[in-house]
């Protein structure tokens, strides 16, 4: 696995995260869309991730709750707008309690030698202070 790249430029509405995995894209896609695997990688390493719901289909919802060591919970949710296995996912993203919803496009690009380039592009509305 190679290092994660994060691009978040000042005064831009998007955040781009990419990483190359030493695995075929079908496997990377499955890990990203199977509730059994989400707690292994989603969220901060010191937190526990609970998959409250995950219905990976157009119109399906997802909701993950992160719990810190003190028991405080942080919920994240969204709705799937496109599911094209194993190529692409498009969904909304909301950190519950924050008045902004992002649109997230995730692509899984098959590379040579069984590797996969994962790219997540999150687009957020312009805030009042932008």
Any idea what the CATH number is for the domain that residue 31 is in?
3.30.530.20
Q: Measuring CA to CA, which residue among 49, 101, 56, 55 is closest to residue 75?
A: 49
Residue 68 falls inside a structural domain? yes
Torsion of CA 100, 54, 111, 13, to 10 degrees: 0
Comparing 115 with 1, which gets the higher pLDDT?
115
pTM: 0.89
Residue 118 falls inside a structural domain? yes
Residue 130 falls inside a structural domain? no
Residue 86 falls inside a structural domain? yes
Task: Tell me the residue ranges of DSSP E strands in the chain.
Answer: 5-7, 14-21, 48-54, 61-67, 73-84, 88-95, 101-110, 116-123
What are the tens digits of pLDDT across the range 19-62? Answer: 999 999 999 999 999 999 999 989 888 999 999 999 999 999 99
């Amino acid at each position: 696995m190679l290092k994660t790249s994060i691009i978040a430029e000042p005064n831009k509405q998007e955040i781009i995260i990419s990483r190359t995995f030493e695995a075929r894209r079908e496997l990377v896609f499955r890990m990203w869309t199977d509730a059994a695997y989400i707690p292994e990688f989603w969220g901060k390493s010191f937190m526990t991730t609970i998959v409250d719901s995950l219905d990976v289909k157009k119109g399906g919802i997802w909701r993950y709750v992160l719990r810190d060591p003190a028991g405080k919970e942080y919920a994240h949710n969204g709705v799937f707008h496109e599911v094209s296995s194993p190529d692409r996912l498009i969904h909304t993203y909301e950190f519950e309690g924050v008045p902004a919803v992002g649109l997230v496009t995730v692509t899984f690009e098959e590379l040579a030698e069984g590797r996969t380039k994962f790219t997540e592009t999150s687009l957020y509305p312009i805030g009042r202070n932008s």
